[in-house]
């Protein structure tokens, strides 16, 4: 992959990771059925490398990485799919 392609991929993935910090965006993804697509779930798993320090240092909203972890679980993906649960603090999910 050419250096410019690597840079573009880095930028796109970083932007997407940052979006995961927004519970309403997560709800939007759920409403659009992305969480039912095995390819998308695999993509979320692939993005786990962003938790490594050499990548995480570029993430402005570190709780996006926390949500990335939660999205690895079907139960959380189901939970975030309703707007009522999106209005709550998503971390309350862990206290159920």
Asked whether 93 and 85 are in contact (CB, 8 A), the reply is yes
What are the distances in angstroms from CA 73 to CA 2, 18, 57, 64? 34, 19, 24, 15
Number of Cα atoms under 13 Å in the Cβ half of residue 83 = 2
Q: Is the pTM of this model over 0.85?
A: no
Residue keyed to tokens 């649960």: 85
CATH 2.40.160 fits 20-95, yes or no: no
Query: pLDDT at residue 84 above 90?
Result: no
Confidence of residue 90 (pLDDT cuts 50, 70, 90): low
Residue keyed to tokens 């390819």: 39
Report the C-alpha gap between 26 and 34 in whole angstroms.
10
Confidence of residue 86 (pLDDT cuts 50, 70, 90): low
């Amino acid at each position: 992959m050419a250096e410019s392609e690597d840079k573009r991929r880095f930028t796109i993935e970083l932007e997407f990771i940052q979006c995961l910090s927004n519970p309403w965006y997560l709800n939007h993804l759920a409403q659009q059925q992305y969480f039912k697509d095995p390819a998308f779930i695999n993509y979320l798993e692939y993005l786990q490398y962003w938790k490594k320090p050499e990548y995480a240092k570029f993430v402005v909203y570190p709780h996006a990485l926390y949500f990335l972890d939660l999205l690895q679980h079907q139960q959380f993906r189901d939970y975030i799919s309703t707007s009522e649960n999106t209005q709550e603090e998503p971390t309350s999910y862990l206290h159920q």
